Structure 1
């Protein structure tokens, strides 16, 4: 049996006159999870948050994907720049999911916005815009004009970190498609990889069984670089372990009640 991996949806519109609101997820996330042996399940933004519980207890893992800006009010700041697109309902949903995953120790993988969201969920903050807010020499991190699988800079991975154990290398090349980034780390979060300019590119939560995140987009890189396949495989394996423990617990309860 394969583990079920929740992937929060994005909102958009379809149709010639943009008259059809839709929920969706990028195919690359779906197939990255599938390639590692997981079954992706898209989580819609529902009107009744209580109804989410019917879905959540069936999930074995959570993938928080990339996307639009995280609004500064989620980390108690006023917007100091003209932000890109934001979505208050999406922020609310994903923060709720991140809190649930942390409390229940659900294996979680954050990617780009998802990494930033994980940091905010535990009290961390973000650079609202690296180009205007980061003090120091800065690489170009917003490379939206390039193909999504083109690598542009390296990341040094912290020795002894879980990310170093999973990826199996000390340094890795990454694509870079973001203008926001982690500023102050949230409670219990450890930076496990830095870009050459000091920007946090990898993080993890050591006190949980599997909570790792990457600022780059490994879902666009795993088919060309087996190092990134290891990240998705480790995530799905951790989710499988979670599923197995839940099934063992259920079997024990059923035996006790027989």
Structure 2
């Protein structure tokens, strides 16, 4: 059977007057999982944590996708002037999911915000805004005005890393759609890829069977670059190999801090 891959939803509104609240996920994440052989399952923001834990017990993998900024109070900092839009309920949900996945050794792939959130879940923090917080020459990382598959810069991959093993290359070209980035890695978080300016672009957590993150958006690139297809296939394969059992989900409530 194909593995079930959980993808947390986003919140938004629809309608001419933006009067209808909705949950949704970008199609590109869904189809990237589908193309790799997985079955994507949208995880809504539920009020009943018991129902959420019942859903999680049926999943084989977790994809933490991109999106808006994580509020800095999640890593015990005050909000800076250049902080973007945040969603406290989404932060709580995804931090809970990231910590649950770490505890249960659930295969996990984090993309952009998702990679940053994985880092926060293990005690790391972020540059709230690279342009104002990063010291040194900086590439332009926030390219939201360009097509989402536009190539912006290269990433050098650590030779002894899991990412190098999966992708099969020493350097790769990426898109760039972020204004935040990992500042201090969390406990057990290993940097496996850097941009030309030193910004962390790839991470992995060797203590777990498959827990990797990318700052770029490979879901927008895999159709044109088979290297990124390897990442999604490896993720789905790891999820398929996960022992089928009900996880012993220990937290009784969603934690909000490391």
Contact 1:127 1:181 in 2 (8 A): yes
The residue number in structure 2 matching 1:98 is: 98
CA contact 1:81–1:128 (8 Å) conserved in 2: no
Q: Is residue 17 of structure 2 the alignment partner of residue 17 of structure 1?
A: yes
Match of 1:177 in 2: 177
Q: Which runs of 5+ in 2 are unaligned?
A: 248-258
CA shift for structure 1 position 155:
0.1
Q: Deviations over 1:94-122 (max 9, x none)?
A: 00000000000000000000000000000
Provide the residue aligned with 1:246 in structure 2.
Answer: 244
2:117 is aligned with 1:82: no
Task: Report the equivalent of 1:49.
Answer: 49
Q: Secondary structure at the match of 2:101?
A: helix
Counterpart contact for 2:3–2:61, Cα < 8 Å: yes
Q: 2:134 maps to what in 1? A: 134
Q: 1:4 touches 1:39 (CA, 8 Å); kept in 2?
A: yes
Equivalents in 2 of 1:158, 1:82: separation in Å? 31
Structure 1 residue aligned with 2:112: 112
Q: Which residue of 2 aligns with 1:228?
A: 228
What are the ranges of 5 or more consecutive residues in structure 1 without an aligned counterpart? 250-258
Give a deviation string over 1:233-254, Cα, whole Å, max 9, x none.
0000000000xx226x9xxxxx
- Is this contact kept in 1: 2:152–2:175, CA < 8 A? yes
Partner of 2:203: 203
The SS at the match of 2:184 is coil
SS, match of residue 42 in structure 1: strand
Deviation by residue 1:15-69 (Cα, 9 ceiling, x = unmatched): 1111110000000000000000000000000111221011000000000000000
Counterpart-to-counterpart distance in 1, 2:63 and 2:222 = 15
Corresponding position of 1:253 = none
* Correspondence for 2:39: 39
Structure with larger RCO (C-alpha < 8 A, sep 6+): 2
1:164 aligned counterpart, secondary structure: helix
**Distance in 2 between residues matched to 1:161 and 1:83, nearest whole Å:** 32
From the two aligned structures, give the one with the greater helix fraction.
Answer: 1
The alpha-carbon deviation at position 82 of structure 1 amounts to 3.4
| CA shift digits 1:187-207 (9 cap, x unpaired) | 000000000000000000001
Tell me which structure has the larger Cα radius of gyration.
Answer: 1
Superposed displacement of residue 185, structure 1 = 0.1
TM-score (norm 1): 0.94
In the aligned structure 1, how far is the partner of 2:69 from the partner of 2:92?
Answer: 13
Match of 1:256 in 2: none
Secondary structure of the residue that 2:13 maps to in structure 1?
Answer: strand
Kindly indicate whether the alpha-carbon contact (under 8 Å) linking 2:82 and 2:128 is maintained by their aligned counterparts in 1. no
Aligned to 1:162: 162
How many residues of Structure 1 are paired with residues of Structure 2 in the alignment? 247
